[in-house]
Structures are given as C-alpha cells and as structure tokens.
Chains A and B, each alone.
Chain A
Amino acid sequence: MILSNREIHNALDSGRLIIRPEPVPRQKTSEAPSPYDTHSVDLRLAPEISIPTAGPFSWDLMQAGKFADFLARNSKQLRIAEETGYPLEPGTFVLGKTIEWIELPILKSRKHCLAARIEGKSSRARCGLLVHFTAPTVHPGFKGTLTLEIINLGPVPFVLRPDMPIAQLIVEEVKGIPYENPSQFHGQHTPEGRIHE
C-alpha cells in the first residue's frame, strides 16, 4: 500500500522512514511550496555527477571483486556550477545522486516495514529526462543516498542544476518482516559461498 503524505509524515516521526535533511515544509506556506505531493516527496539533485567515459573495454560484471574500482576509474567526477548548471546533451548518460540520505529500517518489533520507489517527475519527463530507467526500488533496510541513472532522451540539452527537485520518492508498506535470506548460507561448503560439485 502506498503511503499518503500524512502517512509519510507519521513514518518520519516514528523513525520507520528517515530522510536527512528532512524535506520541508511539510505543508505549503505563503513563502515556500511543499515538497510533499499527495503520496510522494520530492528529492533534490546533489551537485556532484559522475560521467562514464568511453574506452576500449566492456563492462564485465564477472571481474570478481574488481568491478566497482574499474567502473570508478573509468568515470569522471564533476561538480555542477550553480550559475551555469550542467547541460546534459541529448542521448547522454550520467549518474547523479540525491542530496537526501534515506533509511528504511527493518524494525523487528513491528509487523511491517517500508520499501520505496524512486520515480521521475512529469515536468522533467516532458523534456525527455529520465532519472532512472531500471532500478527504482529502495529495499527495506537500505541506508544511503539514492543514485540516479540520468539520461536525456529529448532533442536538446537539459540543464541539470544542483538542488533542483529531480525525482520523487513513493513509500510503500511491506507486509510482514522479510527474512534476511539465510538460505544463501545453508548448503555452502566454503566461506566464499561456492558449493563443491
């Protein structure tokens, strides 16, 4: 079940959902709009983006243990200037992240926990901007900022600016408390998890 804005506030107050810094104001004032819609909360773009670089290689997830470092070494970090922004060219892919730190604690004292999904905003989508295209789910137990897979499918550059509302978080209740997947442990014969034939 998707949480309404009122239930998102309750979840923040009870510690079932943590967003830091907490989006404010909770309700629209004469001075400021509220980042909360009826059943979502807006998240903002952090000033740093990561741009994958092209090269004579392929992404290969089978480089056991080395892939994260390989990906990082073949990416360029860039801080977006507030004045100019970063014009994302058509067809270009960059990684961004949210300013907000999200936590979805699994509280064993409760019968339910929360999961979330990150979605784009329709106003940005109309310009051709995608902020995720395959990985919207924020799992129960997650702690961290949310990484955004940003691509411009529009015909002209889209200017990314730090602090801009870039995505919305939709929070859902997970019925029951999930297992910590102990089945991955049982039946393994080596510490690395390989099962001998």
Chain B
Amino acid sequence: MDARLHCQVTPGQFSDEFAINGGEFSLFAPKQFVEVGREPRNGNSVEGWLLVEVVEQDAQKALVRLPGEAFEVGYFVTVPNARLKTANKSPQKQS
C-alpha cells in the first residue's frame, strides 16, 4: 500500500530531484515521488509529502520503504502513523 510521508523538501543535486529531510534520515528522490505546494528555493525548505510504500503497520507506527536509499538508514524506516497520509495518486513516470 502506498502512502505519503510528511517531510521537508529542498532542491536536489539535479533539477529533476529533491533533497528530502525526513528528520532521522535524508535522501534524494525524483520529483515525481514528492508532493509540494511550491518549488523550494536554495536555502529555504518547503513542506512536502514523499511517496512511500507501507510494508508493515501497527496502531502507532509503520515500516515504510523509501523511493530511494537514505544516507542514514537505507531503504526502510519506521515512522509514526501521524506523519503519514493516504496516497492519492501514483507517481508520473518519465516518458
């Protein structure tokens, strides 16, 4: 099941990606996987929602698979359910 994980978003190393700050972890993710209200500018982060796959979940927390490898924790991280929302769309694929 896909979900959206709340995160802070800044520009990535390439124009088609964002740098994601998930609190305990960080990664670069293709823009297709990130929902933002407005484009982040250098030096300023914006709030965003990262598309993740929920692998396991209980009443308080969920194990999610990230769309890329985080520098600190690899592909999987456990997050509080409160930071997740339902994913309302799949990422657009590059054509």
Which residue numbers of A lie inside 8 Å of B, CB to CB?
18, 20-21, 48, 50, 61-69, 71-73, 75, 77, 95, 97, 101, 103, 139, 141, 143-145, 180-182, 184-185, 188, 191-193
List the 10 shortest-distance A-B pairs measured between CB atoms, nearest first: A185-B63, A68-B26, A191-B80, A68-B19, A101-B94, A50-B13, A191-B61, A193-B78, A180-B55, A69-B19
Chain B residues near A (Cβ < 8 Å): 8, 10-16, 19-28, 30, 42-43, 45, 55-56, 60-61, 63, 65, 67-68, 71-73, 75-80, 91, 93-95
Q: Knowing that A68-B21, A103-B93, A185-B76 are A-B contacts, what are 18 other residue pairs whose CB atoms are under 8 Å apart, sorted by A's residue number?
A: A20-B94, A48-B15, A50-B14, A61-B71, A64-B23, A64-B24, A64-B25, A65-B8, A65-B22, A68-B71, A72-B11, A72-B13, A145-B16, A182-B56, A184-B76, A185-B63, A192-B23, A192-B78
B14 touches A77 (CB 8 A): yes
When distances are taken between beta carbons in the complex, the residues of chain B under 8 Å from A101 are: 93-94
Most A Cβ at <10 Å: residue of B24, B79, B94: B94
Residue of A nearest to B12 (CB): A72
**Chain B residues with CB below 8 A from A180, complex form:** 55-56, 63, 65, 76
Residues of B within 8 A of A65 (CB): 8, 21-26, 72
CB distance from B43 to the nearest CB of A (A): 8
- Please measure, in the bound complex, the distance between the C-alpha atom of A25 and the C-alpha atom of B95, giving whole angstroms: 17
Task: Note all chain A residues with C-beta closer than 8 A to B16.
Answer: 48, 145
Query: Which chain B residue lies CB-closest to A18?
Result: B93
Shortest Cβ gap from B80 to chain A (Å): 4
Whether the pair A75, B13 counts as a contact (CB closer than 8 A) is yes
Measured CA separation A65–B79 after assembly (Å): 13
Residues of B with C-beta under 8 A to A192: 23-24, 78-79
A69 CA to B6 CA, complexed, in Å: 16
The residue in chain A whose Cβ has the minimal distance to the Cβ of B25 is: A65
* A contact residues around B27 at 8 Å (CB): 68
**Inside 8 A of A71's CB, which chain B residues have their CB?**
13, 19
Q: Which residues of A contact B77 (CB under 8 A)?
A: 184, 193
Question: From residue A136, how far is it (CB to closest CB) to chain B in Å?
Answer: 14
Q: Is the beta-carbon distance between B78 and A97 smaller than 8 angstroms?
A: no
Tell me the complex Cα distance, A145–B68, Å: 11
Q: Is the CB of A97 within 8 A of B23?
A: no
Could you list 9 A-B pairs, sorted by A, with CB under 8 Å?
A64-B24, A68-B27, A72-B19, A77-B14, A101-B93, A181-B76, A191-B60, A191-B61, A191-B78
